[in-house]
Structures are given as structure tokens and as C-alpha cells.
Amino acid sequence: MSVLWIAAAIAMVGVLILVHEFGHFLMARALGIGVETFCLGFGPMLLKKKLGQTLYAVALVPLGGFVKLVGESDQEEVSPELLSRSFAQRPVFHRLLVVLGGPLFNILFALLVFVGLGLGGSERPAAVVGEVLEGTPALAAGIRPGDRILRINGQALQSWGELLGIVHDSKGKPLTLEILRGGKNIHVSVVPRLGSREDEFGENKPAWMIGVAPDPKARVFVRQGLFQALQDGAGNTYRLVKLTFVALYKMFTGALSYKNIAGPIQIFALAGEQARTGLASALFFLAVISVNLGVINLLPIPVLDGGHVLFLTVEGITGRMPSMKAREIAQQVGLFILLALMLLAFFNDITRILKGGLLGNGQI
């Protein structure tokens, strides 16, 4: 494990935290709420500079961060000249926007990364057949390994992902494929058959298929125009948000194993590995983790942003914030749940290490 590998992992984790806290900061500033401190990291402050009424700082341990607002607690004393900028004195809607700013900025960051990757271009699996499965429509149609699929029903293809989407959306209607084989273009007709494919959770789901697998060595560089990059970026972000919510639901209901929960050790290891494989891979990984961070922070656990959203929602409905005693009890319960999840995540990480490595190859 090189020093550069560790530095890259720390930098990537730091970026995610900075994005989250910057969301709170930006929303507070936009609403005219005072910000006393904006700090990246926790522990002793190594660097600090006061600009206006805000202290900007970098602390010793870069795996955290916080934004301290003026009048953040309703128990806090605020000088008369700062009362108009006090968080606690603002309407419920303003406070909700500030609390939601962190998670929403994590999701917005992912969207911007996906759009940027589309505009800048990235390597993807090419639409080249690596294997034709026995007893499938592709075999019956005469498709062979090594065939490069250029078009389906006249629509040009670049990547394997586009091929999957068109076949699945066909709903079993015949498809005409234009194939490059041995320097010649040939046309074949194939009728997709309803089969099953494993989804992200290892569950078999119905899918229209023709019975081909991609060539793992065939890659293509895809660069998109602005409209297509925005469309695909929004689609990818939406799917990730939905996937994260579904995964959390499945874990809480027992449909998905608790062993899928990853802790900071594995995330740190994966961050370093992705940074080493290239900028595009590192940015994609950052976007995925950023969405996860944003969604998890929306859980109604008092020590998370979602807990504050819960309290503010109660205040908005009843006209008053839950009592201090009720909030203290809820925070203690929330802290217990969060610590239990962290311990479980650490346990999973250690188990993965003992079984041969966090990255699946026995090496970190």
C-alpha cells in the first residue's frame, strides 16, 4: 500500500465530506443565516482563517467536518445584533432547507460528475460479442463470438450498455442487427426471449434477452453531447438514489444480508483502488458514494440530518418543537443505532480482510 494510494483515498473521502458540509454552508448563506465556523475534519485545527464573521478551518483528522451556525440551538444565547441571522429564529421551512442542503448537495455533486464524465468521455464495454450461449435466439440467428454489433433496427450503437437497453425494451419484438464480421457488414434477424438476469442485489428478475455475453477486452471511448450527458447523468443519479433507498429497505426487512453493509475500512480501500485505476473510475466511485452518503443522511435517525428533518416536520405540523427531554432520548436512541451500524460495518470489513481482502483479490 503506497503513500500515494493512502493520500488518494484520504483526498477522495475528504471531498465527499467537503461536498456535504458545503451544501449546509451554501444553503445557510443563501438564506442569510450566519455561519460561525466551516471546518473540514475534526480534532485540533491545523489551519484557520477568519473571513467576515466566519472562521474557515482544516482540522487534524480529515474524515469528518462540520458547519457551526449562529443560534444553531434554541438554548443558545445570541447577541441582539445577530438575532436576525440566528438559525433557531428562522421559519421551519428555512431550517429544513439548511438541514437538507448537505444531502441534496451530495446528490447534485453526483449529477455533475456523471454529466462531466459524459461530456469528457469515458471507456465503456464495446458492443462486441464475446460468447454466444447454447440454445438461445442469438445462436439460432447465426451470431458468433467476435461480431461487432453496429446497429439495431437502424439505430447506431457504441457501447454494450446501449445494446442491453434496446434488447430489453424490445418486449420480444424482432430485431434486425447490423454486424461487422471479417471486414464485412451483414444483417441478421433475432427475436428476444424472456429470461432472467441477476439485478444489483443478486435477485433474478425477468428480462428480454438474446443470449450473448460481451467481450471483456473490447472497450470503446464514448463522448456525449450536452443534452445526452444531462439526460444520462440525471438518469444515472435517479437510479442510484432509488437503488440506495431500495437497498436500505431490503436490509431493514431482512431481504438483503447485513453482510452487504460496508464500513469505513472498505470504503477507504476502494477509494484508493479506484484512484489508482484512473481519474474516470475515481470520479464514478465518488459519485456513487456521494449518493449513498446523501441518502443515508436522510434516514430519520436523530444524530443524522434525517433526524433533524423529523423534528422540524413535527414542529411544522404541531407548531412547536418536541421537548428537550424527548429530543435527548431520541438522540440517545439514534446514537445507539448509529454505533450499532458502525460496529456491524467494521465487523464486515474485518471479516472481508480475514477471508482474503477487501478488494476481492487478497491485496490492498
| Active-site residue set | 21
Let me know: does 224 contact 236? Beta carbons within 8 Å: no
Sign, CA torsion 14/38/310/95: negative
Residue type, 346: F
Question: In b/e form, how buried is each residue of 288-313, taking b as 16+ CB within 10 angstroms?
Answer: bbbbbbbbbbbbebbbbbbbbbbbbe
332: how many CB neighbours lie within 10 A of its CB?
Answer: 12
**Distant-in-sequence, close-in-space partners of 163: CB < 8 Å, separation ≥ 6:** 127, 149, 152, 157
Q: Which residue has the cell 427531554?
A: 325
Reading the block at residue 288, the C-alpha cell is 456513487
Nearest to 23 by CA among 84, 91, 89, 108: 108
CA distance 77 to 71: 7
Q: Which residue has the cell 437510479?
A: 239
